[in-house]
């Protein structure tokens, strides 16, 4: 896993662990969600204060989009 955390801007740049779907598209396949759950677990474990995720593939989104994919609320 490769991630870059930019604390001042509250941005996480990551590759391949979370590829946000295009607006109004279905959520990713279950296998992809496994990688996203791992990313979320590491974000929580490291207590990163993230507002924005900038994936190297896909769209720049708010952290709430990642939380929606893994099935937890944005406050978790």
pLDDT at 75: 62
The model carries a pTM of: 0.83
CA 49 – CA 63 distance, rounded (Å): 10
3-31 pLDDT, tens digit each: 999 999 999 999 988 888 788 887 766 66
Instruction: Name the nearest CA neighbour of 61 among 2, 21, 9.
Output: 21
Residues 6+ apart with CB under 8 A from 42: 1, 3
Encode pLDDT of 24-67 as tens digits.
887 766 666 888 999 999 999 999 999 999 999 888 999 998 99
Task: Give residue limits of the domains in the chain.
Answer: 3-70
Please say whether the dihedral angle defined by the alpha carbons of residues 46, 4, 8 and 68, taken in this order, is positive or negative: negative
């Amino acid at each position: 896993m490769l991630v870059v955390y930019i604390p001042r801007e509250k941005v996480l740049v990551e590759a391949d662990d979370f590829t946000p779907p295009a607006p109004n598209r279905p959520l990713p396949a279950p296998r992809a969600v496994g990688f996203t759950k791992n990313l979320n677990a590491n974000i929580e474990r490291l207590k990163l204060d993230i507002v924005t995720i900038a994936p190297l593939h896909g769209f720049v989104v708010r952290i709430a989009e990642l939380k929606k994919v893994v099935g937890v609320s944005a406050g978790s």
